[in-house]
Amino acid sequence: MQGINQILQRMSTIQQRFQISPRANGDFSKILANEQANHSNPSSSSAPSNVGTEKNFATNDISKMIQFAAQKYGVDPKLAMAVAKVESNLQPDAVSEVGAEGVMQLMPETAQGLGVRNNKDPRENIDGGIRYLKQLMASFGGDVTKTVAAYNAGPQAVERYNGTPPYSETQAYVTKVMALYKS
């Protein structure tokens, strides 16, 4: 829990520092790269204090990408972060036993359907994953629990059971994501 609180605290700091605003008409990769270039100068007073530790810096980059994409698509950044944390622990090179890839653990077919060209590119993967969250949220009338369950088990399973399916993996997943989201 302490790690999540640190991430959320860092997200708040990043949001205040960069005052990132959604830009619906911009190319996500180009905008994010520009934001990173504008704020990565080590002599700048806004440079991250933990630049020396690559793992932390990478996590901070992932957090920025999640924050940016969540704002871009109008998804609660705390929900997006909770899903990403449970899916991959924010690891861009994560691959599941069934072939889901990246931070948001998109299956190749799902990624392709979302227009993600390179599922291993964290920017594209996060953008696609959060766009998928937005689509699921719309499909389930804003019901966060059903949205989270559908992200894990698929929307058809949630529709079939009119809620979280009776799959132990999905039930545990929903419990973890909701605990992070509500904390």
Measure Cα distances from 157 to 2, 33, 131 in Å: 33, 37, 20
Can you say whether the dihedral through the CA atoms of 118, 124, 130, 136 is positive or negative?
negative
Instruction: Give the Cα separation of 77 and 145 in Å (integer).
Output: 16
Active site residues: 87
Contact 135, 75 (CB under 8 A): no
Q: How far apart are CA 106 and CA 121, in angstroms?
A: 12
